[in-house]
Amino acid sequence: MYRVLSDMSNHLHFDHCASLGRLHVPAALIVLGNLNHLLLVANSSVNVLIYYCCGLRFRQGLRKMLTCRYLAVQYGSIAAATTALQKT
C-alpha cells in the first residue's frame, strides 16, 4: 500500500532500504503508531463503560436497544420485529 500512495522518489528510498533489510522509517514511528491505535481502541471502550456507569438515560436506552422489548414496542410485536430485521 505504501508504494501505491507515494511518489517515485519514495519508491527508490523504500526499495533501497528493503534491499538492505532495513525499515524505511524509524522503528519508533511504527511502535508509536501501533500504540496510538491501541490507545484509541482503549479510549472508545472505556467511554462506553463511563457512559453506562454515569448516565441513567444512556443505560436505559442501551438496555432497551439490546432487548426485544425495544423492537417489540417499535414494531408492535416480537414477530413483526423479527420480520422487519430479516428484511434489512
For the chain, the structural domain boundaries read 1-54, 60-88
Cα–Cα distances (Å) from 84 to 38, 59, 63, 70, 72, in that order, read: 37, 25, 20, 13, 11
Average pLDDT over residues 42-49: 93
Residue 76 to residue 28: CA distance in whole angstroms: 56
pLDDT digits (tens, 9 = 90+) for 46-75: 998 999 899 999 888 888 777 766 666 666
Q: Is the pLDDT of residue 6 over 70?
A: no
